[in-house]
Structure 1
Amino acid sequence: MLKKSLFSKGKNDDLYHVIHKVPYGDSPYVKAKHAQLVDKDPETAITLFWKAINVGDKVDSALKDMAVVMKQLDRAEEAIEAIKSFRHLCSKHSQESLDNVLIDLYKKCGRVEEQIELLKRKLRLIYQGGAFNGKPTKTARSHGKKFQVSVKQESARLLGNLGWAYMQKTNYMMAEVVFKKAQMIDSDANKACNLVLCLIKQSRFEEASLILDDVVQGKINGSSDSKSRKRANELLEELNDKIPQQEFSVDLLGLDDGLMKGLDQVLNAFGGSNRSKRLPIFEEISSFRDQLAC
């Protein structure tokens, strides 16, 4: 009878940990996760995460989780400083995930320049062959589910984020180049819509309309997603409002032949095989930086 009772207790404990997604044990990190996920007490969780970091208890996870909780409490600036100060205590394998958290924090704080530099650094790591520990794929996690991400997909994702960061700086010409490169590598409806918006900002409505048609007609991966459909319809309404009011010509857009040729050369340089480990975006863009500046 006692054996059966102990078995039932053990089974219930297992179920508890599965439901609440908390690890086993009584360490500072475990207590922090319990405060975060079960008690819903983020302030106590942060205190316990700090304690875990100070005593060397699962420092990689404690630092990352603490930064995420700080962001939720609008303490993103503090989270940035924490990562910068203590990431040297973390393993080499955790640095990539810490960079991903930093990018989100920079975005939250509006620190666009630092976001751009970090995105470039991550892209350089890819084209130098140093990402994913030299493997073609890595295991990622989203909403509790694991899935495989390829170097190709990660490159396109980072380029998409870089393009959006340039959009925040109203550097639409640079954003266009980056978005187009991202679409060449791994196209999807979200990046297509970002490119459409980028072209609208440059008053290039006919080009934007052609790309948007592909999304509306379901020709691009992810077009059937409800968020993508909603955004495509919003952009379509915006285009319909603008197109009748504009005449389309290079003179109206204020783009000289040299600039257009420069963009063509950049995009032609990006048209090579995606199998190469190197993504020459930085070298190629830098050659035309003066032309691309608006």
Structure 2
Amino acid sequence: MNTGKGEKHHHHDHDHQEPPYHVIHKLPPGDSPYVRAKHVQLVQKDPEAAIVLFWKAINAGDRVDSALKDMAVVMKQQDRAEEAIEAIKSFRHRCSKQAQESLDNVLIDLYKKCGRIEEQIELLKQKLHMIYEGEAFNGKLTRTARSHGRKFQVTIKQETSRILGNLGWAYMQQGSYLAAEVVYQKAQSIDPDANKACNLCLCLIKQARYAAAHSVLDDVLQGKLAGSDDPKSRSRVKELLHELEACQSSLLSPKSSELCLEDAFVEGLDKLMSQWAPYRSRRLPIFEEISPYRDQLAC
């Protein structure tokens, strides 16, 4: 943030003008219920008191978009995620059209935290549908996102890949590994990274397709993907390699693994049918991608 005043670097302290108080603490200027809530949240660091003040701001109609979103995030941090979900559902109608997409993002996080997988999948599909219809980002090609105080641009492509990645994770929680695999493959073809590669590898291990799992990991090992060098990615690759070795050394009866694949395949197909039903014409490439697995099932 450009603070204007107080940016010049003088060596003499008495010359140095402090930037305004609200700038130092990253607070909005002025005095209103919302500003007071932010002050209690960021300066006094009292989340429970901040939640009460965010409610006041929402009821007073003061910066409702920000107040509802901020309150939900603080509630999530306080392990009050179920309450945050109810708050968003009850009060989002008071928020502007522009705020709805970011409220959906907060909801997806909250559903994830509460283990409400079905609702998370529903909302992710809805977001994909908005992208297909050209309604995402309020019709623009990029949007500004914030992370750790920094602003950066997110493209529709990156957003699609991120949503598909989240959808893959949700399918994995349900044990729908084939559906997860197809979704991760799609996400990787749009915007590949090491994290999704590791998740894809896990989908393949769960289906006892070890050679395919190995080749996915190789891309990360050779540093071909964004985030390959992250310490987090490196330790995950180690774990996955370990798991691969363990699985390959224990002799699985081919009969049982075949059955798992059959179940996952059918379940995955049902999921995909419902997911891409509204846009039949665009659905075809996805099914071409999974057609090779039919041969594996024929035997």
Q: TM over 0.5: same fold? A: yes
Distance 1:96 1:233, change over 3 A: same
Q: Residue 121 of structure 1 corresponds to which residue in structure 2? A: 126
Q: Does 2:157 match 1:152?
A: yes
Per-residue displacement from partner, 1:51-103 (whole Å, max 9, x unpaired)?
Answer: 10011110000000000011111110000000000001101111111000000
Counterpart code for 1:157: R
Per-residue displacement from partner, 1:105-134 (whole Å, max 9, x unpaired)?
Answer: 000111000000000000000011111122
Aligned residue among 18, 25, 42 for 1:12: 18
Percent same amino acid among aligned pairs?
Answer: 66
User: Does the CA-based 8 Å contact 1:127-1:278 persist in structure 2?
Assistant: no
User: Does the CA-based 8 Å contact 1:87-1:95 persist in structure 2?
Assistant: yes
Distance 1:44 1:247, change over 3 A: closer
Q: Residue 147 of structure 2 corresponds to which residue in structure 1? A: 142
User: Does the CA-based 8 Å contact 2:204-2:212 persist in structure 1?
Assistant: yes
Unaligned runs of 5+ in 1: 1-7, 271-276
Aligned pairs (5 A) from 1:1-294: 11-12=17-18, 14=20, 16-246=21-251, 252-254=257-259, 255=261, 280=282
Give the number of equivalent residue pairs: 265
**Structure 1 range deviating more: 16-25 or 131-140:** 16-25
Post-superposition shift, 1:13? 5.2
**Structure 1 range deviating more: 133-142 or 161-170:** 133-142
Per-residue displacement from partner, 1:196-246 (whole Å, max 9, x unpaired)?
Answer: 011111111111011001111111222111211111111111112212224
For 1:252 and 1:165, the matched residues in 2 are separated by 22
For 2:64 and 2:231, the matched residues in 1 are separated by 39
Distance 1:229 1:247, change over 3 A: same
User: Does the CA-based 8 Å contact 2:207-2:257 persist in structure 1?
Assistant: no
For 2:229 and 2:72, the matched residues in 1 are separated by 34
For 1:212 and 1:250, the matched residues in 2 are separated by 26
- Give the secondary structure class of the aligned counterpart of 1:74: coil
Distance 1:24 1:252, change over 3 A: closer
Q: Which has the higher contact order (CA 8 A, sep 6+)?
A: 1
For 2:256 and 2:75, the matched residues in 1 are separated by 50
User: Taking structure 1 as the reference length, what is the TM-score of the superposition?
Assistant: 0.82
**Structure 1 range deviating more: 161-170 or 236-245:** 236-245
Unaligned runs of 5+ in 2: 1-13, 295-299
User: Taking structure 2 as the reference length, what is the TM-score of the superposition?
Assistant: 0.81
